[in-house]
Amino acid sequence: MALDVETIRKDFPILDRVVHGDKPLVYLDNAATSQKPRKVIEALVEYYERHNANVHRGIHTLAEEATALYESARDRVAAFISAPSRDEVIFTKNSSEAMNLVARVLADAEPPHRIGPGDEIVITEMEHHSNIVPWHQLAERTGAAVRWFQVTDDGRLDLSTVDEVITERTRIVSMVHVSNLLGTINPVETVIRRAREVGALVLLDCSQSAPHLPLDVRALGADFIAFTGHKMLGPTGIGVLWGRLDLLRVLPPFLGGGEMIELVTMERSTFAQPPHKYEAGTPPIAEAVGLGAAVDYLSGIGMEAIAAHETELTRYVLSELNQVDGLRIIGPNTAEDRVAEVSFTLDGIHPHDVGQVLDELGIAVRVGHHCARPAVVRYGIPATTRASFYLYNTPAEIDVLVRGLARVKKVFGG
């Protein structure tokens, strides 16, 4: 079923904006953050205007309403990813915090989950810095080593080495489900199968898949997944760590504070059960409510339909960009196992300059290394220009982009 994009666009007030005088905004920076539908904005306003209170700690009306709203956001998110239990959904600040949480608690865990000297952590060359740096820090603290899968020239993971990279020493494999630089959808089944053989845990960075693809954590088969609200129509300041309940029960807590305890005496503390065990202090309540509204909106339209629309956009943008002289796609050049995020370079023109001229035409793209510097270096380039699409983008906007690139070439050509 095709999306009614014109109707969808009316739900996003910001899409009516003009920039630089009279240029209609063409927002193609969705991989950095998405725009917000009126439903989400209204949920935030409504929360603050009518229900604001702290959660889990009052018996007055507003406290109960706020708690119910916050916990109902957890139910919606759990349903959105088909989590077996709502208690597996932990609210964090963003994906980065979710992944740091896992890296932190594994250093403090009891065997067999504890990561220590001689253990190995496996990542990939296409990770966002958020899924590299916490592991470097963990390795530094514990004496463990970080290993990684390489990427191929056409932007796929090189899994030919899967048996050598993931070994008996591997304690966790932490990898991106969909690359924010390349747009690649990774074949996580192959990696998970191997991880299971050696008894390693698996964390998937779903920051770029949760917004664009139907996700079912039971089918994915990982132990943890992380994603971030602001890329999927929700507010900033809210992210999600989903983890298998049996693991969340035995792993130690992350931050200590209010809400995450069972009992505190002056000598010691005991901890609450998941998810509260991992949510110290007053959580981002309004933000969680906003994320609940965002997943309602996405589910209302249907993730299958959104993914199908975006695949059409991927096909069209790839075919159009491939006709631009001097343009090199960084990432898979077909729409197969790929999302609508396209990184490219233009011969002899630096991405900064590409982005600047496009901005002048009202087109918002991202330029730089996209927090994935190792992968950018792997392709022998300093940076890329990235156009990333979402449910409200249209083929006509791709035409505007292509015309914009012609203008870029005119400014810098010859």
Partner 1 sequence: MNLDSMYQEIILDHYKNPHHRGLREPFDAEVHHVNPTCGDEITVRVYLDGAADEAKVVDVSYDGQGCSISQASTSVLTDLVIGRTVREAFGTMDAFVTLMQGRGQVEPDEDVLEDGVAFAGVAKYPARVKCALLGWMAFKDAVARVVGGV
Ligand X SMILES: Cc1ncc(COP(=O)(O)O)c(C=O)c1O
Residues making contact with ligand X (CB under 6 A): 94-96, 128, 130-131, 176, 180, 205, 207-208, 228, 371
Cα dihedral sign, 344-349-350-355: negative
- Among candidates 223, 251, 243, 282, which has minimal Cα distance to 114? 251
- Examine residue 382 and tell whether it contacts partner 1 (CB under 8 A): yes
Q: Which of 24, 320, 364, 412 binds partner 1 (CB under 8 A)?
A: 412
Tokens 């997944």 sit on residue: 225
- Examine residue 350 and tell whether it contacts partner 1 (CB under 8 A): yes
**Contact partner at residue 228 from partner 1, ligand X, none, CB < 5 to 8 Å by partner kind:** ligand X
Active-site residue (options: 371, 402, 407, 412): 371
Task: Please state, in angstroms and rounded to a whole number, the distance separating the CA atoms of residues 69 and 19.
Answer: 36
**Contact partner at residue 240 from partner 1, ligand X, none, CB < 5 to 8 Å by partner kind:** none
Confirm whether 371 is a catalytic residue.
yes
- Smaller CB distance to ligand X: residue 234 or 404? 234
8 Å CB contact between 154 and 184: no
Q: Which of 272, 353, 364, 402 binds partner 1 (CB under 8 A)?
A: 353
> Shortest approach of ligand X to residue 239 CB, angstroms?
6
> Shortest approach of partner 1 to residue 351 CB, angstroms?
8
Task: Please state, in angstroms and rounded to a whole number, the distance separating the CA atoms of residues 388 and 27.
Answer: 9
Residues 360-379 that bind partner 1 (CB under 8 A): 360, 367-369, 373, 376
Phi/psi of residue 119, each to 5°? -80, 160
- Smaller CB distance to ligand X: residue 176 or 327? 176
- Smaller CB distance to ligand X: residue 226 or 349? 226
Number of helices and strands in the chain (H, E): 14, 17
Contacts of 30 (CB under 8 A, 6+ apart): 211, 231, 341, 388, 389, 390, 393
| Parallel, antiparallel or unpaired: strands 23-24 and 269-271 | unpaired
- Smaller CB distance to partner 1: residue 49 or 325? 325
> Shortest approach of ligand X to residue 289 CB, angstroms?
18
Q: Which of 337, 356, 399, 403 binds partner 1 (CB under 8 A)?
A: 356
The pairs formed by 196-201 with CB atoms below 8 angstroms and a separation of 24 or more are 198/166, 198/167, 198/168, 198/170, 199/112, 200/122, 200/166, 200/170, 200/171, 200/172, 200/173, 201/106, 201/113, 201/171, 201/172, 201/173, 201/247
For residue 103, which amino acid is it? Answer: A
- Smaller CB distance to partner 1: residue 178 or 367? 367
Q: Which of 3, 26, 357, 400 binds partner 1 (CB under 8 A)?
A: 357
Q: What does the binding site for partner 1 look like in residue numbers (CB under 8 A)? A: 20, 350-353, 356-357, 360, 367-369, 373, 376, 382-383, 411-412
The catalytic site residues sit at: 371
